[in-house]
Amino acid sequence: MTDYMHSFDLFEPASVEETARLVDKYGKDAWIIAGGKDSFDWFKDRHKKPQAVINISGLKQLHGIKDGGDHVSIGAVTTLTEIEDSKLLQKNFPLLTAAAAKVASPQIRNAGTIGGNVSQDTRCSYYRDGFPCYRAGGNTCYANTPTAMNREHALYDANRCVAVTPSDTGPALVALEAEIIISRKGKIRTVPAENFFISPAVDITRMTVLEKGDILTEIRIPKKWSGAKHYFEKVADRETWDFALVNIAMVAKITGGKVSDVRIACGGVQNTPRRLTNVEDLMKGEAVNSEMEALAKRVAAQGAKALNYNHFKIPLMGNLAARAVRSLA
């Protein structure tokens, strides 16, 4: 492995429009960065060799956290530290601030952005180390062989690829019914966070709906869940720096002593944040008690198929779901 980057042209556009022109000009040879925490690993190992690197971290129109009345808007290049420290988000969506606070380390959160965290590539060691796997255009999943080391990999949705989403904020945004705003050649489209992440069955070469030419500009969170009860927990090998083995994000509303609405999503168990709809269904309309906690623990990982070394994720999912329920008592 070569520990230096290949050469490229660096651009720092002054607007989204200029960014779009550069992306259009360089096409597949363009690479957009903001914090660059994922990108520089690719560049250093020379697995990605763009001709033009477009740094959008200085675009003020993509930065900041604003109250939009019925929603809160977060610019794509807003740092994770800014999200963690935002009074507006702490008041309305403490689930997201809790998730942002668990990303990597303080140093990385100071530079890493919310747009980068949700759109980063998978951290499968075989893929990142340059093995010619399905995701890289080959014909084998090296993480799903009899001798593979795969304790970090998927329990679900293993369609030729058992890599998982590494995002901590992704499950929180799915739970909060956030919307991802994407610009392409002056046209804007809005994608629900739950549909932003895609499985290998849809496109094995991508983790999200973003294609070459797309620019993630904004994340909007409806105030439907403002003030709701929340729970976020991340289990990783180390308290800082590491990606989640499993994480869980929950928002819930309690009315008259019963759960009137709830959304739960897990990360680290499949290629996309996984909604625990079976747990949600057993909670809705019911009072929070030890029986609900036990049921959530029992059904959280239904349908999971363990690989050689990730069996532990099945009881871990159950324990996290039970603790999420217990937090409402």
Tens of pLDDT, residues 206-256? 999 999 899 999 999 999 999 999 999 999 999 888 999 999 999 999 999
The predicted-structure confidence for 101-149, as pLDDT tens digits, reads as follows 999 999 999 999 999 999 999 999 999 999 999 999 999 999 999 999 9
Q: Is 48 helix (H, G, I), strand (E, B) or coil?
A: coil
Is residue 2 over pLDDT 60? no
56 confidence band (pLDDT: 50, 70, 90): very high
What local confidence, expressed as pLDDT, does residue 276 receive? 98
Domain boundaries, the chain: 1-60, 63-120+164-326
Distance of alpha carbon 118 from its chain centroid, rounded?
4
pLDDT tops 90 at residue 185: no
Strands (E), the chain: 9-11, 30-33, 52-55, 65-67, 71-75, 179-184, 187-192, 215-222, 229-235, 246-255, 258-267, 274-275
pTM beyond 0.85: the answer is: yes
State the average pLDDT for the chain: 95
Q: Tell me: domain 1-60, CATH 3.10.310.30, correct?
A: no
Q: Count Cβ neighbours within 10 Å for each residue of 254-289 and write b for 16 or more, e otherwise.
A: eeeeebebbbbbbbbbbbbbbbbebbbebbeeeebe
| Residue 3 pLDDT | 59
Say whether pLDDT at 196 is over 90: yes
* CATH number for the segment(s) 63-120+164-326: 3.30.465.10
Rounded to an integer, the average pLDDT of 195-215 is: 95
Which pLDDT value is given to residue 217?
A: 98
